[in-house]
Structure 1
Amino acid sequence: MELRSFSHGYGQITYHIVLVPKYRYKIFYNKRVKKDCESIFHNICTEKGYKIHALEVVDNHVHLFLEFHPSTSLSEVVQYLKGGSSYRLFKLHPELRTRYWGGGLWSSGKFYRSVGNVTADTIKHYIKESQGKPRTEVQSHRLKSRQRRINEV
């Protein structure tokens, strides 16, 4: 995975997302439903401009490893994935409506975790060292300059 350039930024937005059907029913045990679900997620991601790094549909949940534009929120991405896939799966497999008679295929929750090439410790170190001085030196310098201004008055 590489950093990408956007109109006013440079970076990477990648997430591991897990979606679960209501009641954890094993609807993807059916090979046809599983294959259609994979195809639907690929289509949605292509339409919306999301890049799939990995996709795995198992019996009772779906793992997605996605990259998307920074102006798009994670909630918006999940909304498109759940809503679009639910609509299309019900259209292709009307028999699912007998199990999900209320109209909703996915559970209301989601799992997500941001994924990147650096660790939290690396970022903390970078922030601490980014000014070239340890934080305590910067604070003591600010205090001294504030004291000078007070003494000048």
Structure 2
Amino acid sequence: MELRSFSHGYGQITYHIVLVPKYRYKIFYDKRVKKDCELVLSKICMEQGYKIHAMEIVDDHVHLFLEFRLSYSLSRVVQFLKGGISYRMFKLHPELKKRYWGGSLWSSGKFFRSVGNVTADTIQHYIKESQGKPKAESKVCRSRESGQRRLDDF
């Protein structure tokens, strides 16, 4: 994966998202329901401008490795996914309405984790060592290079 340029930034926004049907029913055991969910998910992501890096639908939950624009919040993305999938799946499979009579296909929670090409340890090391010198040393060098003396010098 590569970094992308945004209007006022440069970076990467990718998440591992897990969506679970309400009551953790194994609705994707049915091959037709599973296939339709894949197609619906792909279409929603295409319409909204989300990029799917990986998708896996197992019997009782959906895994997505998703990238989206900086202007979208994670909550908004999950809301579009859950709402869009529910609406379209109920239209394609009216029998799901009998099981989910309240009108909600998904559980209220979500699992998410931001994903990148580096580990937390790598980032901590980069921040600590980014200047190549300890902070105190670099302040002294800068003040002497500018010709200005510090109070400590007296």
The one-letter amino acid paired with 1:67 is E
Match of 1:75 in 2: 75
- Equivalent position to 2:151, from 113, 124, 148: 148
- Paired with 1:59 and 1:75, the residues of 2 have a C-alpha distance of 24
Structure 1 unpaired stretches of 5+: none
Q: Counterpart in 1 of 2:144?
A: none
Which residues of structure 2 form unaligned runs of 5+?
Answer: 142-147
Aligned residues: 146
Shift, 1:9, TM fit: 1.1
Alpha-carbon offset, residue 5 of structure 1: 1.1
Q: CA deviation at 1:96?
A: 0.3
1:139 Cα offset (Å): 8.3
CA distance in 1, matches of 2:13, 2:126: 19
Which residue of structure 1 lines up, in the alignment, with residue 12 of structure 2? 12
Letter in 1 for 2:151: R
How far 1:133 moved relative to its partner? 2.3
Cα shift at 1:70: 1.1
Counterpart of 1:77 in structure 2: which amino acid?
A: V
The SS at the match of 2:64 is strand
> Which secondary structure does the structure 2 equivalent of 1:72 belong to?
coil
Q: Does 1:46 align with 2:46?
A: yes
Pair 1:119 & 2:122 matched? no
Amino acid at match of 1:22: K
Q: CA–CA distance in 2 between the matches of 1:60 and 1:137?
A: 56
CA pair 138-30 structure 1, distance change in 2 beyond 3 A: same
Q: Distance in 1 between matches of 2:128 and 2:58?
A: 42
SS of equivalent to 1:16: strand
In the other structure, the counterpart of 1:96 is 96
Give runs of aligned pairs for residues 16-31 of structure 1, distance below 5 A. Answer: 16-31=16-31
Identical amino acids, percent of aligned pairs:
77
Give the deviation of 1:132 after TM superposition: 3.1
Native 8 Å contact 1:128 1:135 kept in 2: no
> Which residue of 2 is the match for residue 133 of structure 1?
133
Indicate how the Cα distance of structure 1 residues 138 and 88 shifts in structure 2: closer, same or farther if over 3 A, else same. same
The alignment's TM-score, normalised by the length of structure 2, stands at 0.88
Equivalent residue for 2:3?
3
CA-based RMSD: 2.0
SS of 1:132 mapped into structure 2? coil
Q: How far does the alpha carbon of each residue in 1:63-101 deviate from its partner, in whole angstroms, 9 at most, with x for none?
A: 000011111111111000000000000011110010000
